[in-house]
């Protein structure tokens, strides 16, 4: 039933390419036969390697995967997420950091990976940091300002310069907001600092 419904939906939606996980390889011949039985040309099929979690188990929505909104709330940029996820199953030589526009220009099915890829949050943070460094202080300020507001802090005209100053030290906008927050909250030195100075 599943295979029949998938084919009917693909025909209805005029799907030309199906790119999916390699756990669907065994469905492909069945679906091709159903396409042909219904008098339609099958789409081009490509299968991506399985993505494993950091423990080496298959990553799935049932086992350890975060919702995409959680990555947003943790300060990951959409461009960095696309960049990182693309590199899990595809490559363009040694290029690690690229924009969505570059990805669209470079992508082809010939460069899909063959072996399982492992999700690595440390690597994701590094990719995110590279995208943060490439952004202007003004663009970062637009992302950091709502985070400061959520902490009850009002930012001012200095925020773009503050973001520019600290962006090279940060791997997420949450970390950048924590640095910026120091400029918008009262200074409360601890007793050791007061005794020392």
Annotated catalytic residues are 61
Backbone angles phi, psi at 63, to 5 degrees: -125, 85
Q: Taking a C-beta distance cutoff of 8 angstroms, is the pair 9, 38 a contact?
A: no
- Rounded Cα distance between 91 and 95, Å, is 8
What sign has the CA pseudo-torsion 130, 134, 139, 140? positive
DSSP one-letter string for 28-50: HHHHHHHHHHTT----EEEEEPP
Beta strands in 17-158 (DSSP E): 17-21, 44-48, 51-52, 117-118
Place of tokens 């949050």: 121
Q: Provide the β-strand partners of residue 64.
A: 60
């Amino acid at each position: 039933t599943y295979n029949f419904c998938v084919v009917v939906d693909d025909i209805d939606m005029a799907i030309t390419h199906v790119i999916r996980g390699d756990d669907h390889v065994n469905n492909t011949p069945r679906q091709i036969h159903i396409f042909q039985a219904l008098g339609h040309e099958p789409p081009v099929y490509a299968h991506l390697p399985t993505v494993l979690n950091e423990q080496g188990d298959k990553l799935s929505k049932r086992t350890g995967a975060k919702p995409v909104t959680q990555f947003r709330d943790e300060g990951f940029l959409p461009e960095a997420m696309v960049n990182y996820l693309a590199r899990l199953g595809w490559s363009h030589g040694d290029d690690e950091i690229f924009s969505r526009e570059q990805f669209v220009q470079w992508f082809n099915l010939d460069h899909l990976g063959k072996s399982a890829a492992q999700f690595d949050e440390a690597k994701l943070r590094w990719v995110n940091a590279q995208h943060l460094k490439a952004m202007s202080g003004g663009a970062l300020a637009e992302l950091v300002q709502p985070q400061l507001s959520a902490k009850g802090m009002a930012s001012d005209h200095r925020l773009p310069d503050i973001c520019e100053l600290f962006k090279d030290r940060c791997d997420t906008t949450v970390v950048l907001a924590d640095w910026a927050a120091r400029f918008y909250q009262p200074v409360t030195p601890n007793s050791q600092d007061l005794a020392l100075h």
